[in-house]
Amino acid sequence: MKDEKFLDYFIEQSETVAPEISEYWILSDDMKDSLKFVKSSLPKPVEWTRNTIKEHVQKANCFDKIILHSFFFLDLDLFLKRLRKNIEVVWIFWGGDGYSFASNERQWYLPLTWAHKRNIFREDVPLLRGTIRIINMSCLRMVKSRLTRRLIKRVNTRATWIKYDYEMIRHINPKMEWSYYSYYTAEQLNFSNLEYQSININRLWLGNSATDTNNHLDALDYLKSIQWQGEIVVPLSYGSAEYREKIIEYGVKNFGEKFIPLVDFIPLEQYHQLMNSCGIVWMNHIRQQAAGNILTAIYMGKVVIMNHNNNLYKTLKEWGIYFESQEILTRPDAISTDSFMNNRRIIWSHLSFKKSLGDVKRIYNLNTGANQI
């Protein structure tokens, strides 16, 4: 594991179904920093560098199952290569780690955002230097793609609740199995404390971060073209500072005071309150992203808009979740709030704590008596 806020959810689920049979390693290349997100006392901080991998392999080879909480570790391929061949490797798909399999990142972007991404490497630099930058970025994507594909080929079981993320990469390793699992549970996310508020169709929430896969520019351009008169709340507290400034510049220029950027980290409860003040939540990602935000918005009964090519959208649609398309923004008075009322029940039925316990038990295959790390 890396130090991430959702890992406490997993540890609680794990210890509920199988107490004291697992070790939890929080990997870091800088042991001077204390854990920021994980609060459980059970994890063991582990210094993860190329020099320490041999030692970690020796310890890991004593276990029957390794569970990777993302691929975001340096030299992970070196670690997996040295493991015993009969150790089962389970990969809990995080998002960005799996999407690195694609060497062509163009597919995750809408036209305006892609144009910005391409031009940013040419601004204020000579043409030759800009061209070299683009070539270097392309080479880096190829390297990441090959590495990610190697990692996927070593995985025995892919654990995710987003079916189409699994379908997207199964061709890389046809032997890799799928086990349904979600970090998120309605109870652990405190959904019961999220009060339903009447839908304010004049206040729109856009995206989840200052990352360009949000496709902010394309969404804002659409709102400009339909002469959107409401407020636009845009979370930009993490991601690229350069990209954040670009979005703020564009938003203020075209929407003035009605463009409301959120640039500071705020407590989760306050974050939820702000989201709850918006009647419409638009997530313009093509790539699967912002799952926690989207689930929260759906449970709040918001008018949620997503790109139809998004794997998360496809999965939630199969569950029976009701969405609106961006065209509804041209006639917000036509929104029927009754259409979203059943979404709360669907989310709870698929993401209950009880269900996650069963999913973890299945991943552990407890009847074998296996230990895992």
Is 22 part of a structural domain of the chain?
yes
Same domain? For 359 and 341 the reply is: no
Q: Which of these ranges, 103-107, 162-166, 284-288, has the smallest mean pLDDT? A: 103-107
Give the confidence band of 174 by pLDDT, cuts at 50, 70, 90: very high
**In the numeric block, which tokens belong to residue 184?**
């998120």
Calculate the alpha carbon distances from 331 to 201, 207, 243 in Å. Answer: 10, 21, 30
158 close to 265: Cβ distance less than 8 angstroms: no
Same domain? For 63 and 100 the reply is: yes
Same domain? For 88 and 128 the reply is: yes
Is 1 part of a structural domain of the chain?
no
**In the numeric block, which tokens belong to residue 223?**
């709102």
Is 287 part of a structural domain of the chain?
yes
Domain count, the chain: 2
Same domain? For 17 and 78 the reply is: yes
Q: What is the mean pLDDT of residues 346-365?
A: 94
Same domain? For 169 and 200 the reply is: no
Give the confidence band of 304 by pLDDT, cuts at 50, 70, 90: very high
Same domain? For 89 and 159 the reply is: yes
Same domain? For 288 and 345 the reply is: yes
Q: What is the mean pLDDT of residues 84-100?
A: 92
Same domain? For 20 and 137 the reply is: yes
CATH of the domain at 289: 3.40.50.2000
Is 208 part of a structural domain of the chain?
yes
Same domain? For 153 and 195 the reply is: no
Is 2 part of a structural domain of the chain?
no
Confidence at residue 369, expressed as pLDDT on a 0 to 100 scale: 46
**In the numeric block, which tokens belong to residue 130?**
């800009």
Q: Tokens 């392309």 correspond to what residue? A: 138
Calculate the alpha carbon distances from 131 to 85, 143, 304 in Å. Answer: 43, 19, 39
CA distance 77 to 150: 7
CA distance 315 to 346: 12
**In the numeric block, which tokens belong to residue 25?**
């390693």
Is 335 part of a structural domain of the chain?
yes
Same domain? For 261 and 147 the reply is: no
**Which domain does 304 fall in, by range?**
191-349
- Would you say residue 327 has pLDDT above 80? yes
155 close to 91: Cβ distance less than 8 angstroms: yes
Confidence at residue 125, expressed as pLDDT on a 0 to 100 scale: 53
Same domain? For 95 and 208 the reply is: no
Q: Which of these ranges, 16-30, 217-231, 310-324, has the smallest mean pLDDT? A: 16-30
3-state secondary structure labels for all residues of 239-276? ECHHHHHHHHHHHHHHHHHHEEEECCCCCHHHHHHHHH
Same domain? For 338 and 358 the reply is: no
Strand ranges, E, within 183-238: 203-206, 231-235
Kindly report, residue by residue over 255-301, the tens digit of the pLDDT.
999 999 999 998 888 999 999 999 999 999 999 999 999 999 999 99
Confidence at residue 130, expressed as pLDDT on a 0 to 100 scale: 62
Q: Which ranges constitute the DSSP H helices of 320-368?
A: 341-350, 353-364
Q: Which of these ranges, 39-53, 117-131, 260-274, 277-291, has the smallest mean pLDDT? A: 117-131
Is 102 part of a structural domain of the chain?
yes
DSSP character at residue 48? -
Q: Tokens 């890992």 correspond to what residue? A: 7
CATH of the domain at 94: 3.40.50
163-167: which pairs have CB atoms within 8 A and are 24 or more residues apart? 163/311, 163/314, 163/315, 163/318, 164/311, 164/314, 164/315, 165/93, 165/98, 165/288, 165/311, 166/93
Is 373 part of a structural domain of the chain?
no
